Amino acid sequence: MNTNSSASKAQVVIAGAGPTGLMLAAELRLGGVDVVVVERRASGTVGESRAPGINARSVEILTQRGLGEEFQRLGKTLPGVLFSGIPMAPQDLDPGWPAAMILPQHQTERILTTRAVELGARFEWSTSVVDLRQDEHGVEVSVDGPSGPGTIRADYLVGADGGHSAVRRLCDIAFPGDDPVSWWVVGDVQLDSPPDGRGVFGRNEHIGTYQISRAEPGWFRLSMMRATPPADRAAPVTLDELREVMRDGLGTDYGLSGARWMSRFSDGFRQITDYRHGRVFLAGDAGHTHSPIGGQGLNLGIQDAVNLGWKLAAVLNHGAPEALLDTYHQERHPIAAAVLQLTKAQTALIKPGAQNDALRTVVTDMLAVPETCLHLSGILSGLDLRYPLGDTHPLLGRRMPNLTLPLKESATTIFDLLRPARPLLINLGTEALTAVPAAWSDRVDYIETHIPASDWNMPVFGEIPPCEAIFIRPDGYVAWVNPAGTPLSPDALTATLEQWVGTSADAITV
């Protein structure tokens, strides 16, 4: 589908149809937002593994939106968590620990594109963003596509167009960080004589840690450090370069005969200082780039999208305060900064050298300590993320686990209730709450249930003090708690609803 024309309108324009842009498009459509996705490619990713790692929190998010079953059917569940290739097994310490998975990126994009189209997102393929102008009322996006130059007038623009973001460049946004000093090649390749017939994960003194693993039938995923920098860092990777790198590092190319995708990455790390620039937002790699060691890039992007999507929808269509959009930067920028730091450490550990070998031995021993394993697994999996929403209860700012909730005649789950991407108020036994306050009844879902005492010992968090009521944002994070044994405060609930949903002239009576 291509809707390019000389001039058109939308509430939100998304530049980029990678996983971040696609997830954002679906989230916006769930909120009733008219959205156009502009993508310079003629189609999505075809037959490329690219970013295949989907961490446990992203799996949860996809499940919240009803996509988990298809991802689980197509993907491969991971038995643990890797820190620079060093395995950790948090499930052995906490049996309820949610699992991550591996799925080639072209499959992820196909699923997300299908969902966005089903929900009514419009797409302009083979179309590039060439200029933009914004004012207090909106942003005018100049594009060039199959029908020639055109403009799209929108309330907001989101740049989800990758590490070489045109939106970031057009806004003249600084992108500070560390220049690369080391380079790796990566690709989906065909091997006539693969090691052990299936692949190999190893380490040597020439190139440090390397990986050759099965991606899909007939294809191997290759990731390997170059012993020397590439002559031309901007030139496309070739089969000859892959053969050279493999022979230099391993002494053989294992009969490399073809590739469907080849690329290179480095240990450069960059992050913009502000994710919002007026009516323009940046998400995913457009706002932060780093080594893919640890598999964090796709997951940061998906979680950026889910954080931003419901907020834009709430402001545009549901009466939320415009200041709500500032919380996108406030919440997501520190998360990416912390991930970049941890990714730097993991990238250093895969490099060759006797000192790094010794450090890996020490780190491996440290990761065997249960507390260290659970702490780092929580960060890498995204499960331990906590937004700064208060410290009066351990659940505030944290994701709400997918608990089963008993009803009068059946049962449901937290994630099923979050599927429409609407705020959720759960009454767990307080008589002071009988419904969503009238001023917000059309914008917030409500349920009365209870959580069995044993379920308050939650995976990742440990034992949590019971609650009598919980308010959960559309992205699945807890924004308000009424602890058990504490009288419900109508003022506190009102302030929470005004902050995250919007204000109303109507009086509130709880």
Q: Which domains does the chain have, with CATH numbers?
A: 7-177+270-381 (3.50.50.60), 182-266 (3.30.70.2450), 404-500 (3.40.30.120)
Residues with Cβ within 8 Å of 150's Cβ and at least 6 positions away in sequence, in order, are: 4, 5, 6, 7, 8, 142, 143, 144
Place of tokens 């031995």: 361
CA–CA distance, 122 with 140 (Å, rounded to integer): 17
- Kindly state the tokens that stand for 257: 């005969």
Residue 79's pLDDT is what? 87
CA–CA distance, 394 with 391 (Å, rounded to integer): 7
CA–CA distance, 475 with 303 (Å, rounded to integer): 9
Report pLDDT digits (tens) over 340-384. Answer: 999 999 999 999 999 999 999 999 999 999 999 999 999 999 999
Average pLDDT over residues 10-25: 98
Percent of the chain with pLDDT over 70: 97
Query: Per-residue b/e over 276-306, b at no fewer than 16 CB within 10 Å?
Result: bbebbbbbbbbbbbbbbbbbbbbbbbbbbbb
Q: What is the DSSP letter of 392?
A: S
409 φ/ψ angles, rounded to the nearest 5 degrees: -120, 0
How big is the chain by its Cα radius of gyration, in Å? 24
* Better-scored residue on pLDDT, 2 or 287: 287
Residue 5's pLDDT is what? 45
Residue 198 has pLDDT above 90, yes or no: no
Report pLDDT digits (tens) over 120-130. Answer: 999 999 999 99
Helix (H, G, I), strand (E, B) or coil at 42: coil
Question: For residue 445, what is the enclosing H or E element?
Answer: strand 445-448
Place of tokens 């010992």: 457
Average pLDDT over residues 30-47: 96
Residue 401 has pLDDT above 80, yes or no: yes
Helix (H, G, I), strand (E, B) or coil at 76: strand
- Position 15 confidence tier, pLDDT thresholds 50, 70, 90: very high
Give the C-alpha distances (Å, rounded to integers) separating 69 from 9, 327, 373: 35, 31, 28
- Position 3 confidence tier, pLDDT thresholds 50, 70, 90: very low
Residue 2 has pLDDT above 90, yes or no: no
Q: List, in sequence order, every residue forming a beta bridge with 8; answer none if it has no partner.
A: 152
* Residue 411 CB neighbour total at 10 angstroms: 10
Percent of the chain with pLDDT over 90: 92
Question: For residue 463, what is the enclosing H or E element?
Answer: strand 462-463
Q: At what angle do helices 326-350 and 354-367 cross, to 10 degrees?
A: 120
Among candidate residues 211, 221, 224, 132, the one with its CA nearest the CA of residue 170: 132
Residue 4's pLDDT is what? 46
CB 262 within 8 A of CB 187: yes
Residue 181 has pLDDT above 60, yes or no: yes
Among candidate residues 342, 357, 343, the one with its CA nearest the CA of residue 207: 357
Residue 504's pLDDT is what? 61
Among candidate residues 83, 68, 74, 37, the one with its CA nearest the CA of residue 52: 74
At 448, the amino acid letter reads: E
Average pLDDT over residues 49-74: 97
Residue 346's pLDDT is what? 97
Average pLDDT over residues 276-281: 98
Among candidate residues 138, 153, 158, the one with its CA nearest the CA of residue 286: 158
Report pLDDT digits (tens) over 84-136. Answer: 999 999 999 999 999 999 999 999 999 999 999 999 999 999 999 999 999 99
- Kindly state the tokens that stand for 395: 């659940």
Residue 316's pLDDT is what? 97
- Position 505 confidence tier, pLDDT thresholds 50, 70, 90: very low
Mean pLDDT of the chain: 94
Residue 509 has pLDDT above 60, yes or no: no
Alpha carbons within 13 A on the beta-carbon side of 177: 25
Average pLDDT over residues 279-293: 97
* CA–CA–CA angle 284, 289, 295 (5° rounding): 80
Report pLDDT digits (tens) over 424-443. Answer: 999 999 999 999 999 999 99
Q: In what order do the strands lie in the sheet with 478-483?
A: 445-448, 424-427, 467-472, 478-483
Average pLDDT over residues 457-469: 93
Residue 7's pLDDT is what? 65
Query: What is the reported pTM?
Result: 0.96
CA–CA distance, 140 with 293 (Å, rounded to integer): 37
CA–CA distance, 20 with 3 (Å, rounded to integer): 21
Average pLDDT over residues 246-258: 96
